[in-house]
């Protein structure tokens, strides 16, 4: 059931989130205070959010060009990426995960969402 009030609150929350990303935008580290150092995972999350929201820019930042330049500049000679960290004491660093997240970002692996049409109500039997 479509609820216009909830839909408007969701749209506002998304806009507020992108406004925060614009103000705190960086591809060189995770933005925000006390952000975990899962940096390539953050970049992959940035890719997903921008593609789902159909955004080429975040504010005035071309997130894909800036992120791609950053990642390509940090690719190792063997083709992998490795930050040397994952983000918590319970995890070990993983070049496999860093490489996967970098490739997912560069590939723009997230498929854009198909617009969901409003439901069509017809009389019974039609």
How far is residue 13's CA from residue 122's CA, in Å, rounded to a whole number? Answer: 33
As a whole number, mean pLDDT of residues 12-25 equals 92
Q: What is the CA angle 56-51-62, rounded to 5?
A: 25
More confident position, 91 or 69: 69
Cβ neighbors of 60 (< 8 A, separation 6 or more) are 22
HEC assignment per residue over the chain: CCCHHHHHHHHHHHHHHHHHHHHCCCCCCCCCCCCCCCHHHHHHHHHHHHHHCCCCCECCECHHHHHHHHHHHCCCCCCCCCCCCCCCCCCCCCHHHHHHHHHHHHHCCCCCCCCCCCCCCCCCCC
pLDDT for the residue numbered 110 = 84
Q: Is the Cα torsion angle 73, 103, 31, 93 positive or negative in sign?
A: negative
Domain boundary assignment for the chain: 4-107
pLDDT for the residue numbered 105 = 96
Q: Quote the distance between the C-alpha of residue 77 and its chain's center.
A: 26
Tens digit of each residue's pLDDT (9 = 90 or more) over 21-76: 999 999 998 888 877 778 899 999 999 999 988 899 999 999 999 999 999 999 99
Long-range CB contact pairs, 91-98, < 8 A, 24+: 97/40, 97/41, 98/40
pTM (predicted TM-score): 0.79
Q: Could you tell me the pLDDT band of residue 90, with boundaries at 50, 70 and 90?
A: low
As a whole number, mean pLDDT of residues 65-93 equals 85
> Rounded mean pLDDT of the chain?
85
């Amino acid at each position: 059931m479509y609820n216009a009030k909830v839909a408007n609150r969701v749209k506002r929350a998304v806009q507020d989130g992108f406004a925060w990303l614009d103000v705190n935008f960086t591809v060189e580290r995770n933005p925000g205070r006390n952000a975990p150092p899962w940096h390539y995972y953050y970049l992959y999350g940035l890719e997903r959010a921008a593609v789902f929201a159909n955004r080429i820019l975040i504010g005035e930042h071309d997130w894909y060009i800036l992120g791609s330049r950053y990642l390509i500049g940090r690719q190792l000679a063997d083709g992998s990426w490795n930050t040397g960290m994952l983000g918590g004491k319970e995890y070990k660093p993983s070049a496999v995960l860093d490489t996967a997240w970098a490739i997912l970002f560069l590939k723009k692996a997230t498929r854009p969402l198909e617009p969901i049409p409003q439901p069509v109500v017809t009389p019974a039997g039609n």
